Amino acid sequence: MASLLTLTYSSPTLEVAKGEALVTQGTPGRDLYVLESGKFVVERNGMAIATIEHADAMIGEMSVLLGRPHSATVRAERDSKVRVVRDAMRILEKHPELALRIAQLQSQRLDATSALLVELNHEHVDKPAERNLIGRIFSTLMAPGKDPGQH
């Protein structure tokens, strides 16, 4: 399957300066971003929780797909470039190959997260509190989803 950069070749490019927020936690999100170059830090409630630095990474998809405000702030850690898919839900409805690629990437993320949880569960076999927390996380990941817009 084609990369997101290939699928979004006609989308405009946005330059994001070091320190600038691409998306801000709590704000509505209608656009999807695909990283061309650079590095971003993901902050939730003021705490850095992840970095995004691989070309073809997507940003903003949870807000678009779930119809919710952004769950995190994504800030450029260095000067960066992203492709902008404006009004992404409408574009996804018209371009199923892009929607399928995003579904595949989300499935890969879930698979990697599940594998990490299994590994952590094995490492903490003799620690009931940690195993309980891991079990709760796993149950949350595997639970049926709520309708978009619900919390």
Are both 62 and 2 inside the same structural domain? yes
User: Are 83 and 102 part of one and the same domain?
Assistant: no
User: What is the value of pTM for the model shown?
Assistant: 0.82
The pLDDT tens digits for 74-96 are 999 999 999 999 999 999 999 99
8 A C-beta contact, residue 59 and residue 23 = yes
- Domain count along the chain: 2
Same domain, 2 and 71: yes
> Do 10 and 77 sit in the same domain of this protein?
yes
Q: State the average pLDDT for the chain.
A: 91
On whether both 28 and 78 belong to a single domain, the answer is yes
Residues 103, 68 share a domain: no
Q: Is residue 2 part of a domain?
A: yes
Same domain, 61 and 82: yes
Instruction: Print the domain residue range for 126.
Output: 95-144
Among 76, 101, 109, smallest CA distance to 3 is for: 101
Q: Residue 14's closest CA among 59, 65, 71?
A: 59
Q: What is the mean pLDDT of residues 132-137?
A: 85
One domain for residues 80 and 115:
no
46 and 116 in a single domain? The answer is no
Predicted confidence at residue 146, as pLDDT, reads 64
Judged against a pLDDT cut of 50, whether residue 149 lies above it is answered with: no
Instruction: Examine residue 151 and state whether it is found in any structural domain, yes or no.
Output: no
Residue range 42-64: mean pLDDT, rounded: 95
136 located within any domain: yes
pLDDT in tens, 30-42: 999 999 999 999 9
Q: 78 with 128, same domain?
A: no
Strands (E), the chain: 13-16, 21-23, 32-44, 47-52, 58-59, 73-85
Amino acid, single-letter form, for residue 32: L
